[in-house]
Amino acid sequence: MTELEKEISRRRTFAIISHPDAGKTTLTEKLLLFGGAIHVAGAVKSNKIKKTATSDWMDIEKQRGISVATSVMGFDYGEHKINILDTPGHQDFAEDTYRTLTAVDSVIIVVDIAKGVEMQTRKLMEVCRMRNTPVMIFVNKLDRLGKEPFDLLDELEEELGIAVRPLSWPIDQGPGFKGVYNIHQSKLDLYTPSKQTVTNSIGFDDVMHPALETHIGASNAAQLREDIELINGIYEPFDVQTYLKGHLAPVFFGSALNNFGVRELLDCFVQIAPTPGFTKTEERVVAAKESDFSGFIFKIHANMDPNHRSRIAFLKICSGKFERNVNYKHVRFGKMMKFSAPTAFMAQKKSIVDEAWAGDIIGLPDTGTFKIGDTLTSGEDLHFKGIPSFSPEMFKYIENADPMKSKQLQKGIDQLMDEGVAQSFTHQMNGRKIIGTVGQLQFEVIQYRLEHEYAALCRWEPIQLHKACWIESDHPESLELFKKRKFQYMAVDKEGRDVFLADSEYVLRMAQSDFEDIRFHFSSEF
């Protein structure tokens, strides 16, 4: 086995996704605790303790108690190198999450036992299904009362469109919660509520053994035996290959806040989760084990350190090995570049790395040379596919509220748009800038970050728009005619592409039927 193959086989790169408040950031933090990456968990919701969650590090996240940007954390666990991407659950930041899913090999979905499957989880699962990404499910908050486990499993199958197989099973829930029986490893994990310590496990090959009563009481023991029998009767035995193809989701139960059931999830995950495999490019399929380096930028973050106005481009390595101070080709510019300070992350803390392998995610200091979707290679011209920007759903004019700071405002808008937080369009008729987002919260985040990171003040003004769509045609004269006729609806995006701004569904439908030579796109990847 070569060094490259050995390094790739120990890597597990995954995203944690869920609806807001299902406990995703808490779970991330507990996983880091097991990896020894942090030594004390931050109480995410408590304002008394000034330790906020490790992965929520922007000021606005600490104030709101929600994650608004994807954070990347890497740590070693036993023989394995684990890369976690903690994504925003809030639907206003879905775009960031969609892009993150292009950079991972598998996904853990967190579901709240009381709320079950929620809208946002369903949408994200559709993205996983499009890519056949393997999925594991962690049912959280068992220390509270919630749905019956069998009902919840039915709901997961129906709502997420995937077969499930429980690999652990809860013994009661809420105030009577006793622990879980780990079906995967045949052991009993007894629950003691604690945010810092780890569970006691008892090897238990046979649930029929009379000693079970001494640990969990007679009625719980009887119920557990009945449930296990039912599980073995209803569900097919767990098959790793079906999971890896994205057709079967193993389910674990626990309480992330109380650090319960998390290690069991992690132990099973490192055993069965996929190692870095294949990535599609427009030219060919790239295998992780190829010796030549290649990778793509899936996210850009401005001001990770507010004191230095630094921008970092997140690079997912798709094949080979990346080395510091070695020349690599920036495919869009067609020129060679080398990086003296590539970094590995632990949320906001970062350290310089000398080498990284396929599956890893590293940060490259960026002075404006990168945009989302850019490719770096050892020399081959490759273009990675599938990093879309979707047509925004809400629009506002952005105006400068402090004439002395127009330069800062312009710079701030350019950098935040490069991050993919939102999209900017310049109206052709009046030259005004329009910001388009997926949700209202993004406008607040942009305004807050412009003021606190760029010292620029902006104000929003209303504009009535229904949809922005990118247009193209095989007939240049048809395109020119369309742009003349629809002059008051035309804008350009920051790449200079033509965008049609329809102010109502009727206007859009009429334009589509009147101009058959024009193609209207609702995502920027066409």
The whole-angstrom separation of Cα 146 and Cα 139 is: 11
The whole-angstrom separation of Cα 259 and Cα 195 is: 6
The whole-angstrom separation of Cα 207 and Cα 383 is: 54
The answer to whether residue 363 sits within a structural domain is: yes
Instruction: Enter the DSSP assignment of 366.
Output: -
Q: Are residues 372 and 409 in the same domain?
A: no
Q: Are residues 454 and 330 in the same domain?
A: no
User: What are the distances in angstroms from CA 111 to CA 89, 129, 467, 478?
Assistant: 12, 17, 32, 50
**Any idea what the Cα angle at residue 251 is, between residues 245 and 255, rounded to 5°?**
140
pLDDT of residue 386: 63
Q: Tell me, what CATH number does 95's domain have?
A: 3.40.50.300
H/E stretch holding 98 reads: helix 94-100
DSSP string, 38-68: -SS---SS-SSS----TT--SHHHHHHTS--
Average pLDDT estimate for 138-143: 91
Q: How many CA atoms lie within 13 A of 442 on its CB side?
A: 29
DSSP string, 411-441: HHHHHHHHTTSSEEEEETTT--EEEEESSHH
Please check whether residue 77 is in contact with residue 35, taking contact to mean a CB–CB distance below 8 angstroms: yes
For the chain, the distance separating the N- and C-terminal CA atoms, rounded to the nearest angstrom, is 40
Q: Are residues 129 and 259 in the same domain?
A: yes
pLDDT of residue 201: 64
The whole-angstrom separation of Cα 351 and Cα 348 is: 10
Strand partners, 107: 15, 135
Q: Are residues 317 and 463 in the same domain?
A: no
Last residue of a domain, one of 274, 291, 320: 274
Q: Tell me, what CATH number does 504's domain have?
A: 3.30.70.3280
Last residue of a domain, one of 319, 352, 377: 377
What's the mean pLDDT when you consider all of the chain?
A: 82
The answer to whether residue 347 sits within a structural domain is: yes
From 384, 158, 134, select the one nearest 243 (Cα to Cα): 134
The domain in which residue 86 lies consists of 3-175+237-274
Residue the block writes with tokens 């946002």: 120
Average pLDDT estimate for 378-387: 83
pLDDT of residue 207: 67
* Tokens encoding 97: 């999450």
- The mean-pLDDT minimum among 44-58, 353-367, 395-409 falls in 44-58
The whole-angstrom separation of Cα 225 and Cα 213 is: 11
* Tokens encoding 51: 């330790």
pLDDT of 91 strictly over 60: no
pLDDT of 463 strictly over 80: yes
The answer to whether residue 195 sits within a structural domain is: no
Q: What share of the chain has pLDDT > 70, as a percent?
A: 83
DSSP string, 255-277: BTTTTBSHHHHHHHHHHHSPPS-
For 172-220, the pLDDT digits (tens) are: 888 888 888 888 877 787 877 665 555 566 666 666 767 777 777 788 8
The answer to whether residue 221 sits within a structural domain is: no
For 244-273, the pLDDT digits (tens) are: 999 999 999 998 888 888 888 888 899 999
The answer to whether residue 215 sits within a structural domain is: no
For 465-477, the pLDDT digits (tens) are: 998 999 999 999 9
Q: Are residues 335 and 417 in the same domain?
A: no
Q: Are residues 289 and 259 in the same domain?
A: no
For 317-348, the pLDDT digits (tens) are: 999 999 999 999 999 999 999 999 888 865 44
pLDDT of 156 strictly over 90: yes
* Sign for the pseudo-dihedral over CA of 458, 461, 466, 468: negative
Total of domains in the chain: 3
The answer to whether residue 187 sits within a structural domain is: no
The answer to whether residue 382 sits within a structural domain is: no
User: What are the distances in angstroms from CA 22 to CA 119, 137, 179, 202?
Assistant: 12, 12, 19, 28
For 402-456, the pLDDT digits (tens) are: 989 999 999 889 888 877 778 899 999 899 999 998 778 789 888 988 998 889 9
Average pLDDT estimate for 9-33: 83
DSSP string, 454-519: H---EEEEE---SEEEEEEES-HHHHHHHHHHTGGGEEEETT--EEEEESSHHHHHHHHHH-TTEE
Q: Are residues 285 and 419 in the same domain?
A: no
Q: Are residues 268 and 285 in the same domain?
A: no
The answer to whether residue 180 sits within a structural domain is: no
From 250, 133, 116, select the one nearest 183 (Cα to Cα): 250
Q: Are residues 265 and 133 in the same domain?
A: yes
pLDDT of residue 73: 79
From 1, 32, 519, 7, select the one nearest 288 (Cα to Cα): 7
Confidence bin at 36 (pLDDT 50/70/90): low
- The mean-pLDDT minimum among 80-84, 236-240, 383-387, 464-468 falls in 383-387
Average pLDDT estimate for 76-86: 85
pLDDT of residue 499: 93
Please check whether residue 427 is in contact with residue 491, taking contact to mean a CB–CB distance below 8 angstroms: yes
Q: Are residues 309 and 268 in the same domain?
A: no
Residues 6+ apart with CB under 8 A from 396: 434, 435, 443, 460, 461, 462, 463
DSSP string, 281-345: BSS-EEETT-SS-EEEEEEEEE-SSTTTT-EEEEEEEEESEEETT--EEETTTTEEE--S--EEE
Q: Are residues 266 and 349 in the same domain?
A: no
Please check whether residue 466 is in contact with residue 511, taking contact to mean a CB–CB distance below 8 angstroms: no
Average pLDDT estimate for 282-306: 83
Last residue of a domain, one of 227, 253, 274: 274
Q: Are residues 306 and 251 in the same domain?
A: no
Average pLDDT estimate for 224-235: 87
Please check whether residue 81 is in contact with residue 12, taking contact to mean a CB–CB distance below 8 angstroms: yes
